[in-house]
Amino acid sequence: MNRDDRDTCCGSVNVRQITSVLVEDYGELENKPAINGVELTKDSTAKQLSILHNKQSDYGLNTLRNAAQENLYVPVVGDNDPSKVPVGEFVEESKVKIVDNLDNVDVSDGSLIFLRIGGNT
Residue 104 included in any domain: no
Domain contains 40: yes
pLDDT of residue 9: 58
88-99 pLDDT, tens digit per residue, is 777 666 677 777
Contact 36, 50 (CB under 8 A): yes
Give domain status of residue 76, yes or no.
Answer: no
- Tell me 68's DSSP state: H
For residue 74, being part of any structural domain is answered with: no
Helix then strand then coil, % of the chain, to nearest 5: 20, 20, 55
Of residues 82 and 33, more confidence is placed in 33
Q: What average pLDDT does range 40-46 have in this prediction? A: 79
Tell me, yes or no, whether 49 lies in a domain: yes
69 contact partners, CB below 8 Å, separation of at least 6: 88
- Taking only the tens place, the pLDDT of each residue in 61-106 is 777 777 777 778 878 777 778 788 887 777 666 677 777 887 877 7
103, part of any domain: no
pTM for this prediction? 0.37
- Is 43 within the bounds of a domain? yes
pLDDT at 2: 54
CA nearest to 67, candidates 109, 112, 19, 99:
112
Residue 46 lies in domain: 21-58
Looking at the domain assignment, is residue 77 inside a domain?
no
Does an H or E element contain 6, and which? helix 3-10
Q: Quote the number of domains for the chain.
A: 1
